[in-house]
Amino acid sequence: MTAVLTQPRPIRLKGRSYLALTLTPELPFEDWLVRLDDLAGRSAGFFLRRPVVLDVEGLEIDRAQLRDLVGRLGTRNVRIMGIEGARPSMLGNDLPPAMSGGKATGDIEEPAAAAASEPPAAAPAPVESTAEIPAAPLPTTGAPTSIVVTQPVRSGQSIFTEGDITILGSVASGAEVIAGGSIHIYGTLRGRAMAGTLGNAAARIFCRKLEAEMVAIDGFYKTAEELEPGLRGKPAQFWLEGETFTAGSMA
Amino acid sequence: MGKVIVVTSGKGGVGKTTSSAALGAALAQNGDKVVVVDFDVGLRNLDLVMGAERRVVYDLVNVIQGEAKLTQALIRDKRLESLYLLPASQTRDKDNLTAEGVEKVVGALKTHFDWVICDSPAGIERGATLAMRHADVAIVVTNPEVSSVRDSDRIIGLLDSKTAKAEAGERIEKHLLLTRYDPARAERGDMLKVDDVLEILSIPLLGIIPESMDVLRASNIGSPVTLADERSAPAIAYFDAVRRLKGESLPVTIPGEKRGFFGKFFGRKAA
């Protein structure tokens, strides 16, 4: 990033941070992959074209096992852009590069990101060859901002912010709302809502009428089929109790 | 300056072309000068529904490519002298529609007509986005069933983001036209309710067109339903829709929901 430049016209290298989904595989991989297939089966295209980082911190595996896992994810169309928490000896040219310094929480502190248009080359998790990473609908800049959406969120639209999202209308089937913080929907939630996506387990999802396709908080999720039938069509909220995804009415 | 209306839906087969022809004819029957433009390049149908298929010489693509003048391509309706059709090309590829070309043609039509009705192709690809591009008003044609409603919702999202008006920070006027409404099926409960559709799409209701053999019959004889039988239920519904489009406040009747001996209409406020 800060290499000494000898050419008169330097190649521009800039640091940039991106938001990626992080998968945390568990041993035995066979069982974990079954659960992953289950998720992908119920939520078609969930991983498609999204940048995914594999977090293997604390896993007792060797290089061959890791390579096998990346390959098997590849056959499921889950493209791993980087690997976190692996020993250097486990990685080689045939595996995605090591990633480090990823931020699990919503606090964005590095001054570079808060600075104006083009910060100098100094950013965490330098992701080179950005062209390889298809545009995810998840821009990340500046301090966590909360937004208020006054229009209905239409099918096919995707809204993201690092802070809270308040939506005055409804979220349509086929639309998604992704927040680092909590999500408040004053209309009907028919699409997907994902709260606490930057690692905020205290985030919640509220909606005045529940018809959701999927809800998720900090990586824990429930699809429409798993939602309590009694809550359907009613005001509802979701939160995490430890690792338990909890739903309740707001009546 | 005329108003540009796009008739769109996302989903195919919901009644865009039928509605374009019926609304265009109804507006012309009121004496307005109307042109209906078929944007469905490669799958043109509007000429058939309007009974002009044997008089097509030049088309929209010819005009855009500069091979014909606009006046050469416009076909005047045989029954209504203020109703015109600009047909689509059946042989050309839709890639021949360029953004600049469409802008030029629509701009020119606006100066000559009171209403420019753009009949959009199904889908959300180039043809559909170009058809909606320069619209002042959008009529979203929806059937009371889930897939049509979701596709319409997607189209409304595009209308709010991809049209010239939206990009200029203005809001495009949007109306819902609920077509193929079947009172018998509604009674059995195997169709989405009007209120549910309105709640999901949250745009004002322009009208409800009942499912009817009259529509099919009119299409087969190449006549907009408002011309074929002015007193049929769908024709009346289209005439009412046109009155609302022109700003009149008229309660919407749900077919089959007339009440009382005198057919007391059930007033309904659009979302």
Task: Tell me what pLDDT residue A79 has.
Answer: 82
Which residues on chain A are in Cβ contact (under 8 Å) with B193? none
Distance from CA of B24 to the nearest CA of A (A): 29
Task: Tell me what pLDDT residue A120 has.
Answer: 36
Higher pLDDT, A15 or A61: A61
Phi then psi dihedrals of residue B220, to 5 deg: -65, -30
Which residues on chain A are in Cβ contact (under 8 Å) with B153? 154-155, 172-174
Long-range contacts of A34-42 (CB under 8 A, 24+ apart): A36/A76, A36/A78, A37/A76, A39/A221, A40/A76, A40/A78, A42/A223, A42/A225
Task: Tell me what pLDDT residue A13 has.
Answer: 62
Contact state of B200 with A170 under an 8 Å Cβ cutoff: yes
Share of chain B above pLDDT 70, in %: 94
The chain-wide mean pLDDT, for chain B, equals 91
Task: Tell me what pLDDT residue A234 has.
Answer: 94
Which residues on chain B are in Cβ contact (under 8 Å) with A190? 200
Q: Tell me the two tokens of residue B109.
A: 């039509």
Share of chain B above pLDDT 90, in %: 79
**CA–CA distance, B156 with B174 (Å, rounded to integer):** 8
Residue of chain A minimizing CA distance to B203? A152
Higher pLDDT, A2 or B215: B215
- Residue range A205-221: average pLDDT? 93
Q: Residue B3: is its pLDDT beyond 90?
A: yes
**CA–CA distance, A145 with B260 (Å, rounded to integer):** 56
Q: Tell me the two tokens of residue B143.
A: 């059937």
Distance from CA of A156 to the nearest CA of B (A): 6
ipTM of the complex: 0.73
Cα separations in angstroms, B57 against A62, B54, B94, B155: 72, 9, 18, 32
Distance from CA of B5 to the nearest CA of A (A): 21
Confidence of residue B87 (pLDDT cuts 50, 70, 90): very high
Contact state of A174 with B153 under an 8 Å Cβ cutoff: yes
What is the pTM (predicted TM-score) of this model?
Answer: 0.68
Contact state of A172 with B150 under an 8 Å Cβ cutoff: yes
- Residue range A172-192: average pLDDT? 94
Task: Tell me what pLDDT residue A97 has.
Answer: 84
**CA–CA distance, A159 with A236 (Å, rounded to integer):** 21
Confidence of residue A25 (pLDDT cuts 50, 70, 90): confident
Q: Is B230 left (phi over 0), alpha (psi -120 to 50) or beta?
A: alpha
Please tell me the least confidently modeled range out of A44-53, A161-170, A201-210, B183-192.
A44-53
Q: How far apart are the first and last CA of chain A?
A: 55
Q: Residue A109: is its pLDDT beyond 80?
A: no
Task: Tell me what pLDDT residue A10 has.
Answer: 62
